[in-house]
Structure 1
Amino acid sequence: MMDSSPHKLYHVHGFDSRQFLEDYFSGDSDMGFGDDVLKFPIENLREVFTVGHIHGEILIDLSLGSFIHHLYSACEFFKNIMVLKVSNRCIMELKRWVDERTGAFYWGHTSKHLQEKEENSDQFEDKEGKLRSAIQHIVKYDPEKENMTEPLVLPPADCVITTWLLDAISKDQDDYIRYLRKFSRLLKPGGRLIIFGVIDSTYFKVGKEKFHVFTYDEDFLRKAVVGEGFIIDVCKVRKRTALSNINDYKSIIFIVARKEK
C-alpha cells in the first residue's frame, strides 16, 4: 500500500529531538501532557514491574525520541538496559543526559513524581543515577533491516519496551505487524513485550513540523499482538486528558504481553 500521508515519517526524516522533549515532556506548568505521557507510563510500569514479577538480565527499549522517564522502574529489575535509536540526533540527546553533560534535558520533575509514589521515600535513592548506570548500551538501528542493529547481533532480551514508536514508523497495518514481528524477535521465549501506543491518531507535531501516525483501535492492537504469538497479561486504555493541537490522539493504550513462541 502506498503511503498517501502528506506528513513526515519519524524514522525517515528525523526531528529535532530537544524540541520534541520540550513540547511533550517538560515540567513547565503550561505543558499539557503531564498526565498522559509523563505520569501514565511511570505509574503503570512501576506497577507491572513491582507486582508482575517481570525481571531479568536484559531489557531492550525501542521508543520515540530520547525520553527516559518510562525506564525508572525498569532499572530496579534489569541489570542491563539497551536503548535502540533510529537517529544520531536522538543518540546524542540521550548520551548528553546519561553522561550528565552541560545542557542535558532536565528530568527532575519526573523522578520527583515517582518519589511521591514510593511507599517508603527513604528507599528512594538517586533514581536518575541508577538509570544512568543501568543504560549500558545505546545502539543505532534501522527498522528496515532484517537484523536491525547490523552488524551487531543483540543477545535475546527478557523484556522489550516500545513506547509510541510503532505508531510513528508504521504506514499501515502490514507495516505495523512487520515491525512488531521484528521487535518480538528480540525477546526470549517467555519474555515480556510492553507497548505504549496512541489510539485514533493521525499526526503529531514537533515544532512546526508535522509527522505521520498510523491510525488504529484497541481491537487491531490486541489482535496484532496475539497474532504474533503473545498472551496479553495487561491491557489498559486511558482517555486523552491533554488540551493541545500539536497531536490528535484520542486515547493511550498500554499492553503487557508474554511471548509464547
Structure 2
Amino acid sequence: MEHTTNLYSSHVLDTKTLLETYFSPRTPELLFIETTKIIMIALHKTFKSGFVKGKSLIDISLGPTIHHLAAICEFLEEMTVLKFDDACLKEMKKWVHKEKDAYNWTHLSKVMEEITDKSDTWQAREEMLRAKMTNVSKYDFTEENPTGSLVLPKADCLLSMWGLEFISKDHEAYPKNLKIFSTYLKLGGYLLIYGDINVTFFKVGEHKYNLLACGNKFVKKALTDGGFKILQFDIVERKTPTNLVDHEKLFFVIAQKVKEV
C-alpha cells in the first residue's frame, strides 16, 4: 500500500531505496540522466569555465548524494554538507568515513570520464572530495536556526538540489527558506539551484512525498526579491516516462547575491 506524507522530514526516509531508485546503475537511463548526469555536466562546466568561482561551498540538497559535489571538488578548497534529516546525515557520514555498508558510487566514474575526458581514477576523486568536506551536519529546517549551535562562516557558493521545494510547505515559506539560504552566502557569492518545475510528489518505495509545485516565474521572482541577480536560468524538458515523480520540467539556475534582504 502506498502511503502519503506531507513533508520530506515527516517520515524516516529509506536512504538506500532512494539512492537505488534515482541515482544507481539500476535507475532507468532517462531518469538517471535527469537526476545525476545533467547536473554533473552543468556544474563541472560552470566551475571549469570560471563563470562561478570561490574557495568555499555549502551544499543543502536532497538525500545523501555526492555526484554533484564529485563533479566540482577540484575547483573548491572546502565544502560544508548539510542534510535535512538524521537518516540522510547518517548515510552521508558512512560514505565520508568509508564504512563497509556505505553506498557504492563507483558507477559515476563513467560519467566523470565523459565529462572530463580523463581517465583519472574514481577512487582518487572520492578521496579528494572527502578531504574537502570539512563539515557534514544537520539542517533542521523546522527550527528558526536550522544549523543549531553550528556557526558557519559565509561561503562563496551555495548549492541546492531539490531543496526548497522539499522543505517549503507553501509559497510563503519558499522565499523565507531562500532568505535563510542567503544568510550563509557572502555578498557577491553564488547560489546554484537544480530543481523541478511544477512537481507535486516523488516516491521512495511505498512512500509518496508531497512537494511544493513552483513555476519558473515564481522561482525567478523569489530570487530577485531575495536579493539575487539571475545570471543563468536553464530549462530542461522532461523526457523520462517514470511515474516515480511528476515534474513537468527541470531547471538549473545560477544567481549572484547582490544585496542583503
2:80–2:135 CA contact under 8 A, matched in 1 = yes
Matched residue of 1:176: which SS? helix
Query: Quick one: which of 165, 175, 178 aligns to 1:177?
Result: 175
Q: What is the percentage of aligned positions where both structures have the same residue?
A: 38
Query: Quick one: which of 222, 242, 245 aligns to 1:244?
Result: 242
1:25–1:31 CA contact under 8 A, matched in 2 = no
Q: CA RMSD, aligned part only?
A: 1.8
The equivalent residue for 1:163 is 161
> Aligned equivalents of 1:173 and 1:229: distance in 2?
17
Matched residue of 2:180: which SS? helix
The answer as to 2:196 corresponding to 1:198 is: yes
Matched residue of 1:13: which SS? coil
> Aligned equivalents of 1:147 and 1:216: distance in 2?
25
Matched residue of 2:64: which SS? coil
Unaligned runs of 5+ in 2: none
Q: How far off its partner does 1:7 sit?
A: 3.2
The equivalent residue for 2:133 is 135
1:209 to 1:120, Cα distance in 2 relative to 1, 3 A: closer
Matched residue of 1:232: which SS? strand
Q: How does 1:57-68 map to 2 (within 5 A)?
A: 57-68=55-66
1:129-188 CA distance string (max 9 Å, x none): 211111121011211333221111111011000110111111211111110110011000
For 1:212, give the aligned amino acid: N
> Aligned equivalents of 1:46 and 1:68: distance in 2?
14
1:147–1:153 CA contact under 8 A, matched in 2 = no
> Aligned equivalents of 2:144 and 2:206: distance in 1?
33
Matched residue of 1:205: which SS? strand
1:111–1:128 CA contact under 8 A, matched in 2 = no
The answer as to 2:250 corresponding to 1:227 is: no
Once superposed, which parts of structure 1, at least 4 consecutive aligned residues long, lie more than 3 Å away?
29-32, 119-125
Matched residue of 1:182: which SS? helix
The equivalent residue for 1:11 is 9
Q: How far off its partner does 1:69 sit?
A: 0.1
2:235–2:249 CA contact under 8 A, matched in 1 = yes
Number of residue pairs aligned between Structure 1 and Structure 2 = 256
> Aligned equivalents of 2:219 and 2:167: distance in 1?
15
For 1:148, give the aligned amino acid: P
> Aligned equivalents of 1:29 and 1:251: distance in 2?
19
The equivalent residue for 1:79 is 77
Q: Which moved more, 1:222-231 or 1:117-126?
A: 117-126
1:119 to 1:149, Cα distance in 2 relative to 1, 3 A: same
Q: How does 1:120-131 map to 2 (within 5 A)?
A: 120-121=118-119, 126-131=124-129
Query: Quick one: which of 165, 187, 199 aligns to 1:189?
Result: 187
> Aligned equivalents of 1:112 and 1:133: distance in 2?
22
1:172 to 1:130, Cα distance in 2 relative to 1, 3 A: same
1:9 to 1:203, Cα distance in 2 relative to 1, 3 A: same
Matched residue of 1:173: which SS? coil
The answer as to 2:139 corresponding to 1:149 is: no
Q: How does 1:92-131 map to 2 (within 5 A)?
A: 92-121=90-119, 126-131=124-129
Q: How far off its partner does 1:123 sit?
A: 9.3
> Aligned equivalents of 1:183 and 1:121: distance in 2?
36
Q: How far off its partner does 1:32 sit?
A: 4.6
Unaligned runs of 5+ in 1: 1-5
